[in-house]
């Protein structure tokens, strides 16, 4: 299992966090997703077949790109 926290500047409300948690949670291999409005952080824990690249691509696809 791998865990990574990324900053997502577009998070502004709890609807944003629910969208991110739902979308990333649907990826095969993702064990947990926690998005926070206050810190604008998203913490994801995953195993194969999920990957950091797929997670970041999904965030970008749903208009919540991670900060570089």
Question: Are the C-beta atoms of residues 8 and 44 closer than 8 Å to each other?
Answer: no
pLDDT of residue 19: 98
User: Tens digits of per-residue pLDDT, 2-60?
Assistant: 999 999 999 999 999 999 999 999 999 999 999 999 999 999 999 999 999 999 999 99
Angle in degrees, CA 34, 63, 36, rounded to 5: 25
DSSP 14-57: HHHHHHHHHHHHTSTTEEEEEE-TTT-EEEEEE-TT--HHHHHH
pLDDT of residue 68: 75
Domains of the chain: 2-61 (3.30.70.100)
């Amino acid at each position: 299992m791998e865990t990574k926290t990324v900053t997502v500047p577009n998070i502004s409300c709890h609807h944003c966090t629910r969208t991110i948690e739902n979308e990333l949670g649907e990826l095969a291999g993702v064990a947990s997703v926690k998005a926070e409005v206050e810190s604008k952080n998203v913490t994801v824990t995953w195993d194969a077949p999920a990957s950091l690249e797929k997670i970041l691509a999904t965030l970008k696809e749903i208009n919540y790109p991670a900060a570089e």
